[in-house]
Amino acid sequence: MKYISTRGQVEPVEFRQAVLMGLADDGGLLIPERIPDAAGRMDAWRGLGYADLAFEVIRLFVTDIPESDLRALIDRTYADAFDPAPAPTVRVGDLHVMELWHGPTLAFKDIALQLLGNLFEYILAREHTTLNILGATSGDTGSAAICGVRGREGIRIFVMHPHGGVSEIQERQMTTVLDDNVHNLAVTGTFDDCQRIMKDLAADLDFKRPYRIGAVNSVNWARVLAQIVYYVKAAFDVQQATGAAAARVSVPTGNFGNILAGWYAMQMGAPISQLLLATNRNNILDRFFAAGTYSLGTVYKTFSPSMDIQVASNFERYLYYRTGEDAEALRAMMARFRKTGELAVPPGPDGVVDPAIASGMADEDQTLATIRRTWREHEYLLDPHSAVGVCVAERLAGDGGDPIVCLATAHPAKFPAAIEQATGEDLAHHPAIDALAEMETRCTVVPNDKEKVRRFIVETVGARS
């Protein structure tokens, strides 16, 4: 299987190279040259354990790692790091909830980043090379990325966060990781400043190449790939619980990375009849799927900070397919979007933008009300991100469609203030979060200046290699 760029200006590469490349060298996103049809395999896959299913799905996209090695990598990833399992589905009233937060940092990003860490280590060892990952985070991604690569051979990670600009829990989840290869940089600026520094340094090829700068954000194809697995499992779980022929899946959405994996699962033939895209007040994607127009607005701070985004970096992959896999048309569309902050895809004759994706939004009051009601009625605590998905699912549940499974993307203990405001009680705890308060931390404060960040990386890499 080869990988091509959505912008069509990169020679096709194998999977291993796609993982190391992250963002395509032409500024586009890497995608598989074709989507495997697995409809005929679903019956054989039903009943497999998580790691076995992951192997069956992932091997269809990976042809340059020997199967026995791939199998060992996947087994190692999903055997120990998830307690008790990567993606159990539970019943909450009439809804099915798939809990994706059983990994080490208690958010769904662990499912992909634990695999990506293992893949990086494996690929770098075979290619006798090293990688210096540079990331910027406003919260959840940083800790899951750090946890995915801590202590690994051949990899260093530098994660910038806005100094004083992330929650105390999120900061401690990152800065209590003391492994030698982990460097937390608190930048005296905003998240946008951190992101700008990351983009500027990664675009500077005279720096990127000799210092082997890599990426772990959700533009990395391996992250989307790892997530396809739990969509297939979600559909199987609902079929088993209800006898329905297919399921709908509700997805709390920010950067479109999670739901995009669901879209690939549908194209492969998984028994999913529709995806429900749920946003918070930052509803650029909800507006797109309602009317076909994607236009920038302002970013609001909400109770679900990991969904507070404007430009959804993975949306370009979806648009590529929507424009008929025409890289030239997509390049023109993206250039126009950069200039005007707007792009449009005409809806079908029935006025529907995409029958495969319905959408909805939950504002702040609705999010808290959903947390409160789900706790009172079912004694089940949703984190604010998951609550956005449940709120939208409940709105759409009565329309006679297939049963809905809601993806729960974080453990509520990561967001105790929202839980307390919703329920009036201090209910959200997890031993791993409670323990953070007592742990030693390490972090370097750096000025909001890309040259200072560059110097930090140069000095660190120089001192240890």
Active site residues per annotation: 109
- Between residues 274 and 304, which has the closer beta carbon with respect to ligand PLP? 304
Using rule CB under 6 A, residue 254 touches ligand PLP: yes
- Between residues 173 and 218, which has the closer beta carbon with respect to ligand PLP? 218
CB of 26 to ligand PLP, least distance (A): 23
- Which helix or strand (DSSP H or E) is residue 293 part of? strand 293-295
Using rule CB under 6 A, residue 263 touches ligand PLP: no
Q: Scan residues 31-70 and list those touching ligand PLP (CB under 6 A).
A: none
Q: How close are the terminal C-alpha atoms of the chain, in Å?
A: 34
- Between residues 124 and 405, which has the closer beta carbon with respect to ligand PLP? 405
Q: Which of the stretches 191-199, 233-241, 252-260, 290-298 binds ligand PLP when contact is defined by CB under 6 A?
A: 252-260
- Between residues 233 and 317, which has the closer beta carbon with respect to ligand PLP? 317
CB of 125 to ligand PLP, least distance (A): 29
Structure-block tokens of residue 300: 């609001």
Q: Scan residues 140-179 and list those touching ligand PLP (CB under 6 A).
A: 140
Q: Is 71 in a helix, a strand, or coil?
A: helix
- Between residues 86 and 254, which has the closer beta carbon with respect to ligand PLP? 254
Identify the CA nearest to 230 among candidates 28, 377, 54, 79.
Answer: 54
Q: Scan residues 427-446 and list those touching ligand PLP (CB under 6 A).
A: none
CB of 313 to ligand PLP, least distance (A): 8
Q: Which of the stretches 65-73, 120-128, 253-261, 293-301 binds ligand PLP when contact is defined by CB under 6 A?
A: 253-261
CB of 121 to ligand PLP, least distance (A): 23
Cβ contacts of 462 within 8 Å, gap of 6 or more: none
CB of 452 to ligand PLP, least distance (A): 28
The single-letter code of the amino acid at 75 is D
Q: Which of the stretches 43-51, 246-254, 368-376, 418-426 binds ligand PLP when contact is defined by CB under 6 A?
A: 246-254
Q: Scan residues 109-128 and list those touching ligand PLP (CB under 6 A).
A: 109
CB of 252 to ligand PLP, least distance (A): 5
Q: Scan residues 400-419 and list those touching ligand PLP (CB under 6 A).
A: 409-410
Identify the CA nearest to 226 among candidates 144, 310, 126.
Answer: 144
Q: ∠ CA 93-95-96 to the nearest 5 degrees? A: 115
Q: Is 85 in a helix, a strand, or coil?
A: coil
Using rule CB under 6 A, residue 107 touches ligand PLP: yes
Where does 296-388 show beta strands of DSSP type E? 342-344, 357-361
Cross-strand partners of 338: none
Using rule CB under 6 A, residue 281 touches ligand PLP: no
Using rule CB under 6 A, residue 256 touches ligand PLP: yes
| 299-310: burial string, b at 16+ Cβ within 10 Å, e else | eeebbbbbbbbe
The single-letter code of the amino acid at 428 is A
CB of 210 to ligand PLP, least distance (A): 31
Residue with tokens 């497999």: 48
Cβ contacts of 124 within 8 Å, gap of 6 or more: 130, 131, 153, 154, 155
Query: What is the C-alpha R_g of the chain?
Result: 21
d(CA 28, CA 22): 10
Point out which residues bind ligand PLP (CB under 6 A): 107, 109, 140, 218, 252-258, 306-307, 385, 409-410
